[in-house]
C-alpha cells in the first residue's frame, strides 16, 4: 500500500475519474491518509468515526482487487483487519470480529513482516480470539455454585483460546521483540490461563473459594489490556504510523501488482496494470531530517534557526517556486504526522520552516490576498510557543516576525496572534540577556503587536458607539491608519 504527498481531497478527486483495479493505488493512499487523520482527534468524535468508516471502505476495495497469490495482499489484509478490529472495539458489537480474525490470520500466515510488527499482529489476533471466547465465561456465570462444584460446567475444548495461547507463546519465544509488546503478550497469556481455569479446561484445579479472586484478577487484566495508549490498540497505532510496521517495505521488495480482467471483457481490451508501489513516507523525525538536509539548514557554520531565518532577509536569493512549494508541502507533512518521538526543537523548527516558506510564497505573489502571511504568522507563533521562553532560538524566530508584515497593510491579519506574540516578546525582553540592538528590534515588534491589538479593540469600540455620539468621524479616521 504505497503512500503519497497528495491530500485527502486530491485523492478523492483522482478516484472520481477511475474505475476497477486502476483505483488500487489511490485507494490505498486514501485509506492511510484517513487513518492518520483519525488518529489526530479523539477516537469517539464523529469526524474520527467518519474517517474510520471511509478508510475501511477504501481498504476493503483495495483488498478485493488483490488475488490470493499477490505478495502485497497480506499487508492489505493486516491493515484492513486492524481497522475492523479497531471499529469493533469502539462499537463493541462483535459483528466484525470474525472477519478481522480471518484477515489477520491471513496476514500472519502469508506475509513477511519485521519482527516487532509480526509480534504485534499476533498480540492483536490473540486479543480478538480471547474476546471471542468471553461469551463462554458469561454463560458460566448463569450456573449455580453447586453445578460448578459437581462438575456440571460441561467443559469443552476452546480452539480460540488454544490458538490465542499458541500465538502469544510464539511472541514470548521470539528474539528481538520489544519489552512493551512482550508485556502485552504476557498479560494476554495470563488472561488465557484464567479463562481456561474458570471454564474448567485449564491445567489448574477449580477452587470455588478462589473464584471471586479469579474474576477480580480477570477484570483488572482486562482493564489494563484495554487502557488507551498502553493497550494493544496503542501499540497498533504506533506500529501503523508512516514508515512503520505493515506499511514499511524496502524499495527493492515492493512488488509490481498486475491486475488481470475476469474474462468477461473483450479480448482486445488491454490488461490494466497498477504502477509499481512506492515505499511509504518515512516517520516524522525522518521527514524532519530530510527537510533539514534538503535546505542545508545544518551547514554554513550556523545553527538551523539562523539558517532558516536567513531565507527571510531582504536581498537574499529566493529558492525557486517549485522548491518553495515542495518545502511547504514537506513541512506540512511533518506537522500533520503523529510522531511522539519528535523533540520540542524539531516541532518548533518544522513550524518555523513552514512559516518561512509561506512568507516566501507570498512574496512571489505580491498581489495575492495575503493569506500566506496570515498562515505564516500563526505557524511562527506555534513555533515560538513550542520552545521554553529562555531557548536561544526564540529571539531568532521573534525577530523574524517583521518579515511577515505586509509593507502595504502591516497590521492586516496580525490581530488574531498579536496577544500571543506580545506575551512571548514580553518574556524575551524581561530575561534581560539580549544585545541592545536585538532588544530594540523586539521592543519595536512588541509595539507593533500592541498596536494591532489596540486597532482591533478600537474598531470594536467604534462599532459600539451610540448613534447620537457627535464625533464618530474622528474616531473612524483614527482607526484607519491602523488597519
In-domain check, residue 2: no
**How high is the pLDDT of residue 56?**
93
Q: What is the pLDDT of residue 470?
A: 87
For residue 157, CA distances in Å to 125, 139, 199 come to 19, 15, 10
Quote the cell numbers at residue 65.
Answer: 482487487
Q: Is the dihedral of CA 3, 4, 9, 12 positive or negative?
A: negative
* 195: pLDDT strictly greater than 90: no
pLDDT of residue 137: 59
Residue 97 half-sphere exposure toward CB, CA atoms < 13 A: 20
Q: What is the pLDDT of residues 313-350, one digit of tens each?
A: 888 887 888 888 878 887 887 776 655 566 788 888 88
Mean pLDDT of 91-99: 75
413-447 CB burial, b ≥16 within 10 A, e <16:
bbbebbebbbbbbeebbeeeebeeebbebbeebbe
Average of per-residue pLDDT across 96-115: 89
> Measured between alpha carbons, how far is 132 from 361 in angstroms, rounded to an integer?
55
pLDDT above 60 for 284: no
pLDDT band at 45; cut points 50, 70, 90:
confident
Query: Of the ranges 210-224, 254-268, 358-372, which one carries the lowest mean pLDDT score?
Result: 254-268
Q: What is the pLDDT of residue 270?
A: 46
Among 353, 297, 306, smallest CA distance to 328 is for 353
Report the 10 Å Cβ neighbour count for 284. 24
The predicted structure's pLDDT at residue 145: 52
Instruction: Tell me which residue range forms the domain holding 430.
Output: 284-482
Evaluate the CA torsion angle 447, 448, 449, 450 in order and state its sign. positive
pLDDT at 108: 92
Q: Are residues 161 and 295 in the same domain?
A: no
Q: Would residue 463 be called left, alpha or beta, if left means φ above 0 and alpha means ψ between -120 and 50 degrees?
A: alpha
Q: What pLDDT, on a 0 to 100 scale, did the predictor assign at position 250? A: 40
What CA–CA distance (Å, rounded) separates 404 from 354?
13
Range name among 96-100, 159-163, 181-185, 287-291 with the lowest pLDDT average: 287-291
Does residue 94 share a domain with residue 182?
yes
Residue 259 lies in a domain: no
Full-model pTM: 0.48
Q: Is the pLDDT of residue 32 over 50?
A: yes
**Residue 261 falls inside a structural domain:** no
Whether residue 56 is contained in a domain is answered as: yes
| Mean pLDDT of the 182-201 span | 79
Rank 124-138, 214-228, 245-259 by mean pLDDT and report only the highest.
Answer: 124-138
pLDDT in the model for residue 60: 93
CB neighbour burial string for 342-371, b if at least 16 within 10 angstroms, e if fewer: beeebbbbbbbbbbbbbbbbbbeeeeeebe
Residue pair 344/374 in contact (Cβ under 8 Å)? The answer is: no
Give 103's pLDDT tier (boundaries 50, 70, 90).
very high
Residue 238 pLDDT > 50, yes or no?
A: yes
pLDDT at site 243: 42
Give domain status of residue 294, yes or no: yes
Q: Work out the number of other CB atoms within 10 angstroms of the CB of residue 112.
A: 10
**What pLDDT, in 10s, does the model give residues 410-435?**
777 787 888 888 888 988 888 888 89
Q: Quick one: pLDDT at residue 41?
A: 72
Reduce the DSSP state of residue 258 to 3 states and report it. strand
- Assess contact for 86 and 60: CB atoms under 8 A: no
Average pLDDT over every residue of 71-78: 89
My answer on whether 51 and 144 are in the same domain is yes
Q: Considering its fold, how many domains does the chain have in total?
A: 2
Between 228 and 128, the higher pLDDT residue: 128
> Side-chain half-sphere of 402: how many Cα atoms within 13 Å?
17
In angstroms, the CA 62 to CA 18 distance is: 13
Among residues 253, 273, 300, the one where a domain terminates is 253
Residue 237 has pLDDT above 50, yes or no: yes
**Cα-to-chain-centroid distance, residue 345:** 19
Examine residue 246 and state whether it is found in any structural domain, yes or no: yes
- The answer, yes or no, to whether residue 240 has pLDDT greater than 60, is no
The mean pLDDT of the chain is: 75
Backbone angles phi, psi at 95, to 5 degrees: -70, -25
| Average pLDDT of span 371-392 | 87
What CATH number is given to the structural domain containing 129? 1.25.40
Same domain, 358 and 421: yes
Q: Express as a percent the part of the chain with pLDDT over 90.
A: 13
Residues 238 and 363 in one domain: no
Residues 217 and 300 in one domain: no
pLDDT confidence bin for 59, thresholds 50/70/90:
very high
For the chain, give the percent of residues with pLDDT over 70.
69
- Of residues 141 and 389, more confidence is placed in 389
Q: Classify residue 264: in a domain, yes or no.
A: no
More confident site: 229 or 129: 129
Residue 15 has pLDDT above 50, yes or no: yes
Shared-domain flag, residues 243 and 309: no
Q: Is 82 within a domain?
A: yes
Q: Are residues 249 and 339 in the same domain?
A: no
Q: Which of 214, 232, 253 is the last residue of a domain?
A: 253
- Assess whether 97 and 241 both reside in one domain: yes
Same domain, residue pair 245 and 288: no
Look at residue 460 and tell me whether its pLDDT is greater than 50.
yes
Residue 182 pLDDT greater than 90, yes or no: no
Task: Check pLDDT > 50 for residue 377.
Answer: yes
Which range among 16-25, 270-279, 381-390, 454-463 shows the weakest confidence by mean pLDDT?
Answer: 270-279
| pLDDT for residue 234 is more than 60 | no
On whether both 244 and 392 belong to a single domain, the answer is no
Helical axes 73-91 vs 97-110, angle rounded to 10°:
150
Amino acid at each position: 500500500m504505497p503512500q503519497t504527498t497528495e491530500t485527502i481531497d486530491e485523492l478523492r478527486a483522482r478516484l472520481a475519474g477511475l474505475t476497477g483495479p486502476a483505483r488500487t493505488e489511490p485507494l490505498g493512499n486514501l485509506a492511510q491518509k484517513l487513518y492518520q487523520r483519525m488518529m489526530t482527534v479523539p477516537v469517539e468524535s464523529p469526524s474520527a468515526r467518519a474517517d474510520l468508516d471511509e478508510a475501511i471502505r477504501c481498504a476493503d476495495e483495495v483488498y478485493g482487487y488483490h488475488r490470493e497469490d499477490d505478495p502485497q495482499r497480506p499487508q492489505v489484509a493486516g491493515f484492513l483487519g486492524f481497522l475492523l478490529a479497531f471499529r469493533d472495539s469502539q462499537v463493541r458489537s462483535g459483528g466484525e470480529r470474525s472477519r478481522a480474525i480471518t484477515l489477520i490470520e491471513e496476514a500472519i500466515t502469508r506475509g513477511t513482516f519485521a519482527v516487532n510488527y509480526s509480534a504485534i499482529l499476533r498480540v492483536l489476533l490473540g486479543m480478538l480470539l480471547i474476546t471471542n471466547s468471553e461469551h463462554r465465561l458469561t454463560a458460566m456465570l448463569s450456573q449455580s455454585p453447586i453445578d460448578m462444584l459437581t462438575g456440571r460446567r460441561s467443559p469443552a475444548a476452546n480452539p480460540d483460546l488454544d490458538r490465542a495461547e499458541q500465538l502469544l507463546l510464539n511472541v514470548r519465544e521470539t528474539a528481538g521483540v520489544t519489552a512493551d509488546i512482550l508485556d502485552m503478550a504476557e498479560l494476554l497469556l495470563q488472561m488465557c490461563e484464567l479463562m481456561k481455569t474458570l471454564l474448567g479446561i485449564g491445567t489448574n484445579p477449580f477452587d470455588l473459594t478462589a473464584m471471586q479472586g479469579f474474576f477480580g484478577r480477570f477484570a483488572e487484566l482486562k482493564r489494563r489490556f484495554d487502557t488507551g495508549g498502553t493497550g494493544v490498540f496503542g501499540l497498533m497505532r504506533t506500529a501503523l504510523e508512516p514508515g512503520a510496521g505493515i506499511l514499511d517495505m524496502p524499495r527493492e521488495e515492493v512488488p509490481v501488482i498486475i491486475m488481470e480482467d475476469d474474462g468477461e471483457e473483450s479480448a482486445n481490451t488491454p490488461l490494466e496494470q497498477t504502477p509499481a508501489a512506492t515505499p511509504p513516507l518515512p516517520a516524522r523525525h525522518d521527514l524532519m531530517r530530510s527537510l533539514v538536509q534538503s535546505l542545508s539548514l545544518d551547514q554554513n557554520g550556523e545553527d538551523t534557526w539562523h539558517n532558516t531565518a536567513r531565507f527571510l532577509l531582504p536581498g537574499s536569493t529566493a529558492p525557486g517556486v517549485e522548491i518553495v512549494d515542495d518545502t511547504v508541502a514537506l513541512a506540512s507533512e511533518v506537522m500533520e504526522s503523529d510522531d511522539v518521538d519528535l523533540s520540542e526543537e524539531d516541532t518548533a523548527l518544522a513550524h518555523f520552516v513552514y512559516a518561512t516558506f509561506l512568507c516566501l510564497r507570498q512574496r512571489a505573489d505580491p498581489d495575492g490576498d495575503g493569506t500566506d502571511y496570515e498562515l505564516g504568522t500563526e505557524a511562527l507563533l506555534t513555533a515560538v510557543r513550542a520552545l521554553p521562553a529562555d531557548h536561544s532560538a526564540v529571539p531568532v524566530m521573534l525577530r523574524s516576525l517583521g518579515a511577515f508584515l505586509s509593507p502595504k497593510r502591516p497590521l492586516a491579519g496580525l490581530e488574531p496572534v498579536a496577544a500571543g506574540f506580545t506575551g512571548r516578546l514580553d518574556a524575551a525582553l524581561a530575561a534581560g540577556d539580549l544585545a541592545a540592538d536585538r532588544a530594540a528590534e523586539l521592543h519595536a515588534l512588541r509595539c507593533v503587536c500592541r498596536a494591532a491589538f489596540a486597532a482591533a479593540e478600537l474598531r470594536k469600540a467604534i462599532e459600539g458607539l451610540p448613534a447620537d455620539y457627535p464625533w464618530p468621524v474622528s474616531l473612524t479616521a483614527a482607526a484607519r491608519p491602523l488597519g
